[in-house]
Amino acid sequence: MRSRIARGERRRENGWQAIRASLWSTDYLALGMLVLYTLLDIVFIKQVKSGFGILQINIFTIAGVIALASWYDQTGNRIALLFRSFYILPVGYMMYSQVHNYIPLVHPQIYDATLASWDLAVFGVYPTVWITRFATPIVTEYFQIWYNLFQIMLVVPAVGFYAGGQMRRFRSYAMMLMLGFYLSYLLYFVMPAIGPRFQLHDFHAINTELPGVFLTQPFRELINAGNGIVPEMKNPYDVVNRDCMPSGHTMLSLLGILLAWRYRSRWRWFITIGGISVMISTVYLRYHYAVDLMAGIVLALIVFALEPWIVRTWRRLGIQI
């Protein structure tokens, strides 16, 4: 909570200085992605479905991020803190949804054949085919639940830090995870791919070949819906998201595990068990090639190792973590 003197000094600053002083590192990450996507939307506005609507949404969201930051900075209000701390969740999902508008336009090639050949070269088998020997409905149910709930899993330690008043850890954890998410979104442009469930398997036969118990099919359909696939669609290959390489589920799960242990989260064992389950599920459930998982692991380790440098860089720029 800022003192009255500090708030008075802030009022004497010009508008840009006041806004800049109110922004956290997570705000800069969100604003950076929003600006990038807005520029892409403008460039491809005639080719993007509802391109003008997306443009308006992004502009209003940019204004909303700045307004939330300023609201808390000027008032110290607890409700303002809650909103400015967790708005990154819906905005992060919005960024994930939007990236799929631009990937086919920026890089129309699909690299599934290449990734499948890399899997075969590295392992001597196709891992998504080989791992099927261990499949049972209960095992499938277990992995499908973790795969669908992986974002909630990552939020649990953040809520724990926030509820415990550990705001420094909360903000560092949130900043690193959002950096990881946004980095994975950008890397999807490098090698767009739709995954082995289309390239190596019969997508329409998955409920028969890899059945679950109760939740697998509805959870699977939820994932499909998020990819633009509706039941009985004959050409899902044409609409599905091209977001396999690297595996964001793997990258963020491992990064979440490492951060939870570094920051001594009380939920570190929960996220460790869940995160390892999510990583295995990416291949078991046929969403990713094993090389996608390997790339996600390497990227998570790199980002985690760079955390001290990232923190120093933010501070050198005069930006609050």
**Mean pLDDT per 10-residue interval, the chain, length 321 residues:** 44 69 95 96 92 94 95 91 94 92 94 97 97 96 96 96 95 96 96 95 92 94 86 81 94 97 96 97 97 97 96 93 89
Whether 321 is covered by a domain: the verdict is no
Judgement on whether residues 6 and 153 belong to the same structural domain of the protein: no
The last residue of a domain, from among 93, 118, 142: 93
Judgement on whether residues 249 and 296 belong to the same structural domain of the protein: yes
Whether 220 is covered by a domain: the verdict is yes
State how far the Cα of 250 lies from the Cα of 288, in Å rounded to an integer. Answer: 10
Whether 98 is covered by a domain: the verdict is no
State how far the Cα of 140 lies from the Cα of 202, in Å rounded to an integer. Answer: 17
Judgement on whether residues 27 and 128 belong to the same structural domain of the protein: no
Judgement on whether residues 115 and 259 belong to the same structural domain of the protein: yes
Give the global pTM.
0.91
The predicted structure's pLDDT at residue 1: 44
Q: How far is CA 255 from the centre of its chain?
A: 11
Whether 100 is covered by a domain: the verdict is no
Report the domain count for the chain. 2
Judgement on whether residues 125 and 203 belong to the same structural domain of the protein: yes
The predicted structure's pLDDT at residue 49: 87
The predicted structure's pLDDT at residue 228: 81
Whether 216 is covered by a domain: the verdict is yes
Whether 271 is covered by a domain: the verdict is yes
The last residue of a domain, from among 70, 93, 116: 93
Whether 169 is covered by a domain: the verdict is yes
Judgement on whether residues 45 and 112 belong to the same structural domain of the protein: no
Q: Is 157 helix (H, G, I), strand (E, B) or coil?
A: helix
Query: Quick one: tokens of 321?
Result: 């973590």
Judgement on whether residues 231 and 196 belong to the same structural domain of the protein: yes
Task: Indicate the DSSP class of residue 314.
Answer: H
The last residue of a domain, from among 63, 93, 123: 93
Pair 292, 244: CB distance under 8 Å: yes
Judgement on whether residues 133 and 111 belong to the same structural domain of the protein: yes
Judgement on whether residues 183 and 255 belong to the same structural domain of the protein: yes
Whether 248 is covered by a domain: the verdict is yes
Pair 22, 87: CB distance under 8 Å: no
Judgement on whether residues 44 and 116 belong to the same structural domain of the protein: no
State how far the Cα of 145 lies from the Cα of 133, in Å rounded to an integer. Answer: 20
Judgement on whether residues 166 and 310 belong to the same structural domain of the protein: yes
Q: 147-152: long-range contacts (C-beta < 8 A, 24 or more apart)? A: 147/219, 147/223, 147/249, 147/278, 147/281, 147/282, 147/285, 147/287, 148/219, 148/222, 148/223, 149/274, 150/249, 150/252, 150/253, 150/274, 150/275, 150/278, 151/93
Q: Residue 264 belongs to what domain range?
A: 107-316
Query: Residue 99's closest CA among 214, 226, 200?
Result: 226
Judgement on whether residues 119 and 52 belong to the same structural domain of the protein: no
